[in-house]
Amino acid sequence: MAVHYNFITRWKIKAPLEHVWNAIYDSEQWPNWWKGVMEVNEISNGDAEGINSVKEYVWKSRLPYTLAFKMKLKKKEQFKMLSGDAFGELEGTGTWYFGEKNGITFVQYDWKVLTNKAWMNTFSFLLKPAFNYNHNIVMRWGAEGLAKKLNAELISY
């Protein structure tokens, strides 16, 4: 039986909203600055706005496994929100929210997924805390990598 996970990640970075948005939106470049992102490959490019585009992501963390899944972009509000559906080894939705005030960009990522790997579901009663910790580490790497990429101050993650 699949196990559900709900994560909310918040970053504050002293950088222009447009720069933060562009770095997140251009996910094919993530492996260049986000530790843990091994590969991002475009499967289909969707419409002129990128809606219904599909990208495949391969992630690696401190734990001895990788996760591979695809994301289909379903909603896009320039400089405000990106939302997509995940399918593959993870299934669910991921939504990025963006805002800016006084030169500080606020980013929130809501990740609501379930696992499709049998071993993850079988041992979730033991490993769920490790999976939660692992998610937080990978997202911290993203915040730190983004700040470094933009030569910006990371205020919080």
Residues 45-68: tens digit of each pLDDT:
999 999 999 999 999 998 888 999
Pairing mode, if any, of strands 153-156 and 90-101?
A: unpaired
Cβ neighbors of 90 (< 8 A, separation 6 or more) are: 67, 69, 113, 114, 115, 116
* pLDDT band at residue 141 using 50, 70 and 90 as cut-offs: very high
CA-to-CA distance for 28 and 24, rounded, in angstroms? 9
Instruction: Report the alpha-carbon distance of residue 46 to residue 48 in Å, rounded.
Output: 7
Task: Beginning with the edge strand found earlier in the chain, give each strand of the sheet holding 4-14 in spatial order.
Answer: 37-44, 54-60, 66-77, 81-88, 90-101, 104-115, 4-14, 153-156
**pLDDT tens-digit series, residues 101-113:** 999 999 999 999 9
d(CA 119, CA 19): 39
Partners of 70 in the β-ladder: 56, 87
Of 101, 85, 76, the closest CA to residue 22 belongs to 76
What pLDDT is attached to residue 120? 86
Query: pTM for the complete prediction?
Result: 0.94
Residue of 117, 137, 149 whose CA lies nearest to 31: 149
- Domains identified in the chain and CATH numbers: 4-156 (3.30.530.20)
What's residue 64's pLDDT? Answer: 86
Instruction: Please give the C-alpha separations between residue 25 and each of 5, 44, 80, 117, 141, in angstroms, as whole numbers.
Output: 23, 15, 11, 27, 17
> pLDDT by residue (tens digit) across 10-31?
999 999 999 999 999 999 999 9
Region of 88 (left: φ > 0; alpha: ψ -120 to 50; beta: rest) is left
Distance of CA 100 to the CA centre of its chain: 19
Residue 127: pLDDT band by 50, 70, 90 thresholds? Answer: confident
pLDDT band per the 50, 70, 90 thresholds, residue 76: very high
